[in-house]
Amino acid sequence: MGPGPSSANPSVLRAMSLPVLGYLDPAYFKVLDEVILMLKEVFKTEQRAFAVAGAGSAGMEAGLQSILERGDKVIICSYGFFCERQVNMCQRLGAEVVELKSEWGKAFNPEQLADALKQHPDTKLVVSIHAETSAGTLHPVKEMSEITHRAGALFMTDVVTSLGGCDVDFDRWDLDFAYSGSQKCLAAPPGISPVALSERALEYIRKRKTLPSSWYLDLTLIADYWGPERKHHHTNPVNMVYGLREALALTLNEGLETRWLRHERVAAALRAGLSALGLQSPVDPAVRLNQLTVVTLPTGVNDIALRTQLFEQYGIEVGRGLGQFAGKVIRIGLMGESCVPANVFNLLNALERLLPTHGYEVAKGAGAAAASAQLAEQPAPIY
């Protein structure tokens, strides 16, 4: 129940144990075609959709490496730890970085971006994160994309935690590049990054003055392998793609809207239970994530000690605070296979037993009762 990876569905693990095919085998190309079609459905796009070999950070770096040239100006909307990682990557690329900082746990104001683009009309790319897991917040990327394109720049966003867990609409939001990870709401093991790329951005990359500094992460080369050309590139991670195919099939069989509702209803039960225990969140309720709940620790409760007890005594993993939240919060993930009511009740019961050992008294049974009442009022779809 941490911020990722979430538990992998057993059928995904079985799919990954199938015999290895050559990555240029025509039979494997059929698998790629199925993955492309399903990714397009999950991203809601008619444009390019494929997968980058590597974790979500590989998808992040592929976008930055491919779009930005040395000296290009990039605006990064920064409201969490992983936004700061984008800043670090861009600095390593030699890009001119304009970092727009805003408060953790609050919504990013798109007008801040509009003002920055007026001050920096030569901006080539704007980068954001849709669901920032370090802060537990969801951000208005549709409005940010509209503002960016009015200024003539490209727009890239991180959907690592949001894809499969809440609405992501690549075409309607007019995104240029979006990258995700296999290990969160899609419920597959980590190691592959599903991405979507607009034709506008692909053409922009093809026409850049210099080649991307990374051959391996060049999106044009990866797109050419996944496209009808099937041009040879690196060795594709065949069995990871098997797993991704199965995970996408499970997602679509459940139904995107049903899956989003499951994340919403189970998260609401968790929040009700935590509130009954007197535990609060530093996140604005208007922008809080369903997939990842940030909880403020009561005074005197040691974050490392509590997380260690949860893991060793109850087999429950939760995440530590990062950046500004380090040592102050725990982060509870409800994603994909892990997003079920049973996990909520297990965690609440464990907290009821452990918190008093840290000097924080709670009412016995209050958390589970509140979560149960919430689910009775708004049941989660059966998974």
Both 156 and 189 in one domain: the answer is yes
Neighbours of 359 (CB within 10 A): 10
Same domain for 66 and 137, yes or no, is: yes
- For the residues 208-231, what does the mean pLDDT come to? 96
* Residue in 359, 363, 361, 362 with CA at minimum distance from that of residue 300: 359
pLDDT at residue 383 in the model? 79
**Long-range Cβ contacts of 223-229 (<8 Å, 24+ apart):** 223/48, 223/50, 223/197, 226/32, 226/36, 226/48, 226/50, 226/51, 227/48, 227/50
Q: Confidence class of residue 311 from pLDDT cuts 50, 70 and 90?
A: very high
- Residues of the chain with pLDDT > 90: what percent? 97
Residue 2 lies in a domain: no
66 in Cβ contact with 211 (< 8 Å): no
Residues 187 and 332 in one domain: no
- At 152, is the pLDDT very low, low, confident or very high (cuts 50, 70, 90)? very high
Q: Is the pLDDT of residue 13 over 90?
A: yes
Please state, for a pLDDT cut of 70, what percent of the chain lies above it.
100
CA distance 280 to 278: 6
| 3-state SS, residue 267 | helix
Mean pLDDT, residues 204-216? 96
| Residue 225 shares a structural domain with residue 100 | yes
Strand partners, 192: 53
Residues 91 and 28 in one domain: yes
Q: Does residue 1 sit within a domain? A: no
Instruction: Please tell me the predicted confidence (pLDDT) of residue 46.
Output: 98
Kindly report the average pLDDT of the chain as a whole number: 96
The 10s digit of each residue's pLDDT in 66-85 is 999 999 999 999 998 889 99
Q: How far apart are CA 9 and CA 95, in angstroms?
A: 40
Give the pLDDT score at 231: 94
Note whether residue 49 is domain-resident.
Answer: yes
For residue 342, what pLDDT band results from cuts at 50, 70 and 90?
Answer: very high
Q: Does 70 fall in a domain?
A: yes
Which residues contact residue 132 at a Cβ distance below 8 angstroms, ignoring those fewer than 6 apart? 79, 80, 81, 82, 83, 139
Please check whether residues 230 and 311 belong to one and the same domain: no
The answer on pLDDT for 320 being more than 90 is: yes
pLDDT of 53 over the 90 cut: yes
Domain contains 366: yes
**Which domain CATH number covers 362?**
3.90.1150.10
Residue 46 and residue 155 in one domain: yes
Q: Which of 190, 219, 254 is the last residue of a domain?
A: 254
Is residue 4 in some structural domain? no
Please tell me whether residues 208 and 288 are part of one structural domain. no
User: Residue 131 phi/psi, 5° resolution?
Assistant: -115, 105
Task: Give the pTM.
Answer: 0.96
The CATH number of residue 140's host domain is: 3.40.640.10
Residue 382 confidence (pLDDT): 87
Domain of residue 266 covers 256-377
In a shared domain, residues 188 and 278: no
- The domain total for the chain is 2
Are 235 and 323 within one domain? no
Segment 103-111 mean pLDDT: 94
103 pLDDT band, cuts 50/70/90, is very high
Q: What is the pLDDT of residue 40?
A: 98
Q: Do 19 and 157 belong to one domain?
A: yes
Asked if residue 220 is part of any domain, the answer here is yes
- By DSSP bridging, strand 137-138 and strand 131-132 are antiparallel
Q: Is 382 within the bounds of a domain?
A: no
- Given 200, 226, 254, which residue is the final one in a domain? 254
| Mean pLDDT, residues 316-325 taken together | 94
- Would you say residue 263 has pLDDT above 90? yes
Mark which of 229, 254, 279 sits at the end of a domain.
254
Asked if 177 and 241 sit in the same domain, the reply is yes
Which pLDDT does position 183 carry in this prediction? 97
Q: Are 102 and 108 a contacting pair, CB within 8 Å?
A: yes
